[in-house]
Amino acid sequence: MNTGLLWALVFFTTFQFVGSSNRKLFLPDHSYHNRKPPSGRIYETETSSLESCAITCYEDDRCASFFHGPQHKCIGYPKVPFPPSDNLTVEMGWDVFRHAEKNDVPAEKNDVPAEKGWSLVGEKYYFVSHSKLNWTRAKDMCASMGGYLLEIESESEANATDELVMQRSERADYWIGAMYSSNSNQWTWVNSGNEMVYTRWVPGQPSDDGFADCVDIAWAWDRTTAWDNTPCSDSKMFLCEY
C-alpha cells in the first residue's frame, strides 16, 4: 500500500508549520495501519487515488485525519481522539494519516521511497499529480507531502522533467514553483528564493500582462516542455520535488 505518500513536511519547513495553524500537514499514523475504520466518520467516499483522498480531507475544514483503504475508500474524521489502536479490529489494507501536531517529530526525508508515488530521478524525488489545483493549493499540497513545487535550475533538470511528464498519456500543463515577485521585479523560485537563471520559456513568454504571475510548463508536440506564465487561480496539474 501507499503507506507514506502523504506525510509531513517538516524537515525544512518546521518554522512555517509552527507559524501557521491553518496548514494541514498529514503524517502517516502507523499504529492505525491495517485497522478497521472506527465510527465517528464525517464522510466516506471513493477516490481515484490516495492523493485525491488527501485532497478531500485537505479541502474539508472539519477533517483532521483520514483512512485510505481497499478500492480507494476514503474516510474522513474530525479532530477527536480515536480509540486506542489496539481496541480496533484488524483489517488489512488501510492506511491512516492525520493532521500533524506541533510536537510531532519531523519525518525523515528518506522515509518516502520511490514506490510511494514519488519517482527518483538523479538525486531528487519527483511527484506528478493526477489532480488539478490552483497554484496556491498545489504549493500547499506539495508541502503536505513533504516537498515543494518543482524548481528547475538547469537544462538537465528541465530534460528530466520532460521525461517525467511525457510518461503521462494525456497532454496537460503542470504548475512549477516559480512566480513573479513584484518586490524584486524578477521571476523567482519560491521555495529556494532564488532568481530564475536557467529558463525555458515558450517563445514570446513571459507575457507582461500584470496578472499572469505563476508559471506552468506546457507540453509541446515535439515531446519537450516549455514554460508559460498564467494566472495563479487557474486549475492545473502540478509537479513536486524534494
Residue 186 makes contact with ligand NAG by CB under 6 A = no
Least distance in angstroms from the C-beta of 63 to ligand NAG: 15
| Residue positions counted in the chain | 242
Residue 135 makes contact with ligand NAG by CB under 6 A = yes
For the chain, how far is it from start to end, CA to CA, in angstroms?
21
Calpha distance 242→4 (Å, rounded): 14
Q: How many residues bind ligand NAG (CB under 6 A)?
A: 12
Binding mask 12-41 for ligand NAG (x = CB under 6 A): ------------------------------
Residue 176 makes contact with ligand NAG by CB under 6 A = no
Residue 156 makes contact with ligand NAG by CB under 6 A = yes
Hey, what's the cell of 117? 508515488
Calpha distance 193→173 (Å, rounded): 23
Hey, what's the cell of 9? 513536511
Whether omega before 81 lies within 30 degrees of 0, making that bond cis, reads: no
Site for ligand NAG in 136-155 (CB under 6 A): 136-137, 155
Task: Give whichever of 99 and 139 is closer to ligand NAG, judged by the CB atom.
Answer: 139
Stretch that binds ligand NAG, among 17-25, 79-87, 94-102, 115-123 (CB under 6 A): 79-87
For residue 18, what is the enclosing H or E element? helix 14-19
Binding mask 81-100 for ligand NAG (x = CB under 6 A): --xx--x-------------
Hey, what's the cell of 135? 497554484
For residue 135, what is the enclosing H or E element? helix 135-144
- Contact residues for ligand NAG, defined by CB under 6 A: 83-84, 87, 134-137, 155-156, 159, 232-233
